[in-house]
C-alpha cells in the first residue's frame, strides 16, 4: 500500500489560512469517509485534530477543519497562530486487508 501524497511543506503568516492536501486513491481516501489528521510538534507524540474527514475531537480549535473531494482530502487551518507550526499527517482507512495508510507529512511554517 503506497503512502498518501502530501506536500512536503506549506507556510503562512499569522492570521492567514492555509490548506494541506492529502491525495490517495479510490482504494482508500476515495472509498471511505474515514480520513484523520494529526498534528505533531518536534519531539512530541501526534495529536488527533480531525477524524471522519471533518469532525473535530473535543478540545480542538474550530480553526481546524477538514474536507474531502474524490480521492483528495484537505485540512484547512484558519487564523494561523505561531503554535500551529508543526508537522501534519493525514491517515485514511484502506479496507480490512490494509487498514490504515498515512501521508508522508507536511511541515507547516508560520512566518
Residues that bind other proteins (CB under 8 A): 1, 3, 34, 36, 38, 40, 45-48, 51-52, 55, 57, 89, 91-93, 96-105
Q: Which is nearer to other proteins, 9 or 98 (CB)?
A: 98
Shortest spacing between CB 99 and other proteins, in angstroms: 4
Q: How far apart are CA 60 and CA 76, in angstroms?
A: 13
Q: How far apart are CA 75 and CA 68, in angstroms?
A: 9
Q: How far apart are CA 105 and CA 89, in angstroms?
A: 5
Partners of 74 in beta bridges: 21, 67
Cell of 92: 485514511
Shortest spacing between CB 105 and other proteins, in angstroms: 4
Q: Which is nearer to other proteins, 59 or 82 (CB)?
A: 59
Shortest spacing between CB 51 and other proteins, in angstroms: 4
Amino acid at each position: 500500500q503506497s503512502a498518501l501524497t502530501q506536500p512536503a511543506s506549506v507556510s503562512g503568516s499569522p492570521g492567514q489560512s492555509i490548506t494541506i492536501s492529502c491525495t490517495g486513491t479510490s482504494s482508500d481516501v476515495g472509498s471511505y469517509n474515514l480520513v484523520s489528521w494529526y498534528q505533531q510538534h518536534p519531539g512530541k507524540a501526534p495529536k488527533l485534530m480531525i477524524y471522519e474527514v471533518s469532525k473535530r475531537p473535543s478540545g480542538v480549535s474550530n480553526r481546524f477543519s477538514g474536507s474531502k473531494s474524490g480521492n483528495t482530502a484537505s485540512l484547512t487551518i484558519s487564523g494561523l497562530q505561531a503554535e500551529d507550526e508543526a508537522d501534519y499527517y493525514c491517515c485514511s482507512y484502506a479496507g480490512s486487508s490494509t487498514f490504515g495508510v498515512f501521508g508522508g507529512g507536511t511541515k507547516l511554517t508560520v512566518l
